[in-house]
């Protein structure tokens, strides 16, 4: 959320989207809509949209981005930025600069952009909040505490539905006299069992539809002396599935081997039986059971070779694997940056996400001549090799391999280097590639 100081003349406009806000000289409506789309895309996209027609036609502007735990500020022309940190206030202007001034401030608590000199009538007007949109104005401010308060409102809205179960619990305590009781399975329980039993009795006994006395019902139970009087109590509704019980003696349950009947004898003519060769005797032959035939050697040798290959595979699996070297670069100011993940080196590097690997990490360097590009070069590790790529920088990138002459990299073309290589970005900014032992 931003606070905007509106104007009446309409010479300047404020464009806000997300964590970014832009104060720019007034342009036509189509140009402002294009800048609004660029501000929503990102900090670098906004700078590219402002300088799309060249530096001579770039309007005066002020740009802030309060996301990612730091404040990114860019000013051009009469716009001045005031950054507040725990150490105090800091003023950033573009006095004496033909393009624009761009800086990153860590742990910034508030940033204000204003056009100088400020109009006295406009300064007396109260600032209005702006989250996303385009308004006429000459000043905009951002405070870190304002942005951090928004999630608390969302969190309160998520906890609001907790009161709903309380209302339901109160209603459940009230007596409900008119509502029926649906969970009463008592009438439905005997339905699937008793009709089946009645149908079975009607089919097997053929009892006529007459009144039977108790004496008549008791007589069938005494006709069989071997039955259990409690057997009727164990009957279930599934007796019709198994049929009548058959009582056999223990003798019938004995298992006996069937008599082997001799196969029928077939009488063949004599001329057929005389021409058949004699059956060899079981004791004929000179094989003692210990001789190995040549045809069996292949299987024995093949099994021995497979065992030896399996042992060699196990030996290879048990060999320790040498760890991969860990590469880093040493900067001229004494910093050491490891290349896990890759790094993007420049005056104000922007780490773009790639689909092939982890997102690179920005490493900021500076020079007195300011001829180092915002995103100058990237250094990454591919396998066991360090790869340096020039990101179409302004003055190019030089590398010096150990014992070799300096070599200028082609823009956008990855180049493999070894430990000890010096990467020169110009203006005395160098990086030395190294690896841990």
pLDDT digit string, tens, across residues 412-426: 999 999 999 999 998
Phi, psi for residue 110 in degrees, rounded to 5: -160, 145
Check whether 273 has a pLDDT greater than 80: no
Quote the CA–CA distance of 225 and 217 in Å, as a whole number.
16
Q: In terms of pLDDT, which residue wins out, 436 or 3?
A: 436
Domains recognised in the chain with CATH numbers: 2-151 (no CATH), 327-435 (2.60.200.20)
Q: In terms of pLDDT, which residue wins out, 101 or 150?
A: 101
The pLDDT of residue 271 is 59
End-to-end CA distance of the chain: 50
- How buried is 110 (Cβ within 10 angstroms: 0-12 exposed, 13-18 middle, 19+ buried)? middle
Indicate yes or no: pTM above 0.75.
no
User: Which range (80-89, 220-229, 315-324, 415-424) has the least confidence?
Assistant: 220-229
Q: Stretch 129-156: mean pLDDT, rounded?
A: 64
Check whether 225 has a pLDDT greater than 50: no
Mean pLDDT of the chain: 73
Give the rounded percent of residues in the chain with a pLDDT score beyond 90.
28
Quote the CA–CA distance of 432 and 199 in Å, as a whole number.
98
The pLDDT of residue 390 is 94
Q: Stretch 87-110: mean pLDDT, rounded?
A: 89
Q: For the chain, how big is the Rg over CA atoms in Å? A: 48
- Packing angle, helices 29-41 and 43-50, rounded to 10: 150
The pLDDT of residue 221 is 45
Contact 25, 60 (CB under 8 A): yes
| Mean pLDDT comparison of 186-190, 250-254, 265-269, 412-416, highest-scoring range | 412-416
């Amino acid at each position: 959320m931003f606070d905007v100081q509106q104007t009446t003349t309409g010479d300047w406009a404020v464009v806000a989207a997300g964590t970014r806000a832009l104060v720019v000289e007034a342009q036509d409506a189509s140009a402002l809509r294009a800048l609004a789309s660029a501000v929503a895309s990102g900090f670098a996209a906004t700078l590219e949209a402002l300088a799309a027609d060249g530096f001579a036609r770039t309007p005066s502007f002020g740009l802030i981005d309060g996301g990612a735990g730091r404040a990114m500020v860019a000013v051009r022309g009469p716009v001045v930025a005031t950054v507040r940190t725990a150490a105090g206030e800091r003023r950033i202007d573009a006095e004496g600069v033909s393009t624009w001034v761009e800086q990153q401030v860590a742990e910034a608590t508030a940033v204000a952009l204003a056009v100088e000199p400020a109009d006295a009538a406009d300064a007396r007007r109260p600032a209005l909040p702006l989250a996303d949109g385009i308004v006429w104005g000459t000043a905009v401010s951002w405070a870190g505490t304002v942005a951090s308060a928004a999630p608390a409102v969302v969190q309160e809205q998520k906890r609001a539905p907790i009161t709903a179960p309380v209302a339901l619990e109160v209603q459940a305590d009230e007596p409900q006299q008119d509502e029926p009781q649906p969970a009463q399975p008592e009438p439905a329980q005997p339905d699937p069992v008793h009709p089946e039993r009645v149908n079975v009795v009607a089919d097997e006994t053929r009892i006529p539809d007459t009144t039977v006395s108790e004496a008549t019902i008791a007589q069938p139970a005494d006709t069989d002396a071997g039955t259990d009087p409690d057997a009727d109590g164990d009957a279930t509704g599934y007796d019709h599935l198994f049929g009548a019980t058959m009582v056999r003696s223990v003798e019938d349950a004995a298992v006996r081997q069937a008599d082997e009947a001799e196969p029928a004898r077939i009488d063949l003519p004599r001329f057929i039986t005389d021409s058949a060769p004699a059956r060899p005797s079981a004791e004929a032959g000179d094989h003692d059971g210990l001789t190995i035939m040549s045809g069996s050697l292949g299987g024995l040798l093949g099994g021995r070779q497979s065992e030896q290959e399996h042992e060699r595979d196990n030996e290879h699996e048990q060999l320790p694997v040498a760890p991969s070297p860990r590469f880093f670069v040493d900067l001229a100011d004494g910093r050491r940056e490891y290349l896990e993940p890759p790094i993007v080196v420049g005056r104000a590097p922007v780490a773009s996400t790639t689909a092939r690997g982890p997102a690179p990490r920005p490493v900021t360097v500076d020079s007195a001549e300011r001829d180092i590009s915002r995103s100058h070069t990237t250094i990454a590790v591919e396998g066991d090799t360090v790869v340096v790529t020039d990101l179409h920088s302004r003055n190019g990138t030089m590398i010096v391999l150990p014992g070799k002459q300096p070599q200028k990299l082609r823009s956008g073309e990855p180049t493999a280097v070894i430990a000890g290589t010096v990467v020169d970005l110009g203006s005395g900014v160098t990086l030395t590639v190294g690896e841990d032992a």
